[in-house]
Structure 1
Amino acid sequence: MQYFLYLMLLPLSLFVFTGCADPDLKKDEYNLQECREELLEATDFKNEGSIDHIIVEKAQRKMYLYKGKEVKGVLPVSLGKNPVGQKQRQGDNRTPEGEFFIHRKLCSPKYYRSLCISYPRPEDIASARKRGVNPGGDITIHAQPKWNADGKQDAYTLSQNWTQGCVAVTNSEMKELWYAVREGVPVTIR
């Protein structure tokens, strides 16, 4: 009997410790193992750092990727559900405006991969404090939810503003951005 219990537990322990299966992974979430491996290997890619400034034009729903003064790419984006104006508080579904920077890369179970933006800045916190509200946070440039992992619904998702204040691109575009953008790259949202 003990031997049988041992055999029953053995495969589970292998999965838990080797990362072959994630018991907490839901069917609507991405498996993060591949992403974590890419983070460790990111310095091996030749495109690393090929974009040195990002400008998001909210009214155009476009993201401009720069290397020096040259536009290297223009991507369609989705914004917060309430895109007009500056972000005022947590839950207003607005995409913040101003000068920010990429402060880290994040493997996201919900949105594939994300480039975290340095919001809220000290001035955003002070402004929100004066109004007695939380400024919000966790603003990123991220990819698509798992239900659109294959990209077949990109035209649909990019035709709407659906995020809670983030900037969304397709998974294939995020895969390229992931290697082209380093931490510290300035991001202008206007």
Structure 2
Amino acid sequence: MKPMWQYCMLLTLCIPCTSFRKARNMDARYFSKDTYSILVIKSKYQLTLFDSTGEWIANYPVVFGNKDMGDKLMQGDRRTPEGVFHIVSKRRHEKWNRFMMLDYPTAESVKRFKERKAKGLIPANAEIGGGIGIHGTWPHEEYAIDRYDNWTEGCISTKNTYVEELFSILPVGTKVEIRR
């Protein structure tokens, strides 16, 4: 039987060469739009990243526009829309570090907007709005995320280091589901 120190040495050599974690910082061009998906739970102030098999990868703290966790009704209400969206573009942003634009409003969003308007739940002259995305914070104001201070116009905001990580791996087309 081999001495215990030989087994320990073998493990010491093998473990550093083995990856037990998923690749998180690989270039997004190597991934299809179905490689990742995002679930945002507004009531938990949480963005969760999943791989293509639905396996959890990471959670990120996020904030929104309005403390009212309701669905976006119209432009200017500062609410974050609910539903299934996709990242349609990505760019560096002069104020919020990185910006990943979502395809809001979708056909489903427009349908709900028109129904609410017809029921008189929103003014007849209201507009649906747009420009919703996932982005960072103002420079040196990441404390807003730690304190859960909702400050956006309806977007999803997280710390700049987190949005940079997401930006680097999420391809255009990534599914983003937002729930209350």
Residue of structure 2 in register with 1:155 after alignment: 143
Query: What is the distance in 1 between the residues matched to 2:40 and 2:132?
Result: 13
Q: 1:142 to 1:47 in 2, by over 3 A?
A: same
**Greater radius of gyration (CA):** 2
Query: 1:103 touches 1:184 (CA, 8 Å); kept in 2?
Result: yes
Q: 1:114 to 1:83 in 2, by over 3 A?
A: farther
Number of residue pairs matched by the alignment: 141
From 166, 170, 173, the equivalent of 1:184 is: 173
Query: What is the distance in 1 between the residues matched to 2:135 and 2:68?
Result: 16
Is structure 2 residue 138 aligned with structure 1 residue 145?
A: yes
Task: Percent identity, please.
Answer: 31
Residue of structure 2 in register with 1:96 after alignment: 81
Query: What is the distance in 2 between the residues matched to 1:186 and 1:168?
Result: 17
Higher relative contact order (CA 8 A, sep 6+): 2
Residue of structure 2 in register with 1:172 after alignment: 161
1:8-157 matched pairs, under 5 angstroms:
46-48=26-28, 49=31, 52-67=36-51, 68-129=53-114, 131=117, 132=124, 133-146=126-139, 148=140, 153-157=141-145
Query: 2:37 touches 2:176 (CA, 8 Å); kept in 1?
Result: yes
In the superposition, the TM-score normalised over structure 1's length comes to 0.68
What is the identity, as a one-letter code, of the residue corresponding to 2:113?
Answer: A
More deviation, 75-84/53-62:
75-84
Query: What is the distance in 2 between the residues matched to 1:113 and 1:161?
Result: 18
Query: 1:82 touches 1:93 (CA, 8 Å); kept in 2?
Result: no
Structure 1: gaps of 5 or more residues: 1-44
1:47 to partner: Cα distance = 4.1
Query: What is the distance in 1 between the residues matched to 2:74 and 2:63?
Result: 19
In the superposition, the TM-score normalised over structure 2's length comes to 0.72
Structure 2: gaps of 5 or more residues: 1-24, 118-123
Identify, as 1 or 2, the structure richer in helix: 1
1:55 to partner: Cα distance = 0.3
Query: What is the distance in 1 between the residues matched to 2:71 and 2:112?
Result: 12
Q: 1:140 to 1:158 in 2, by over 3 A?
A: farther
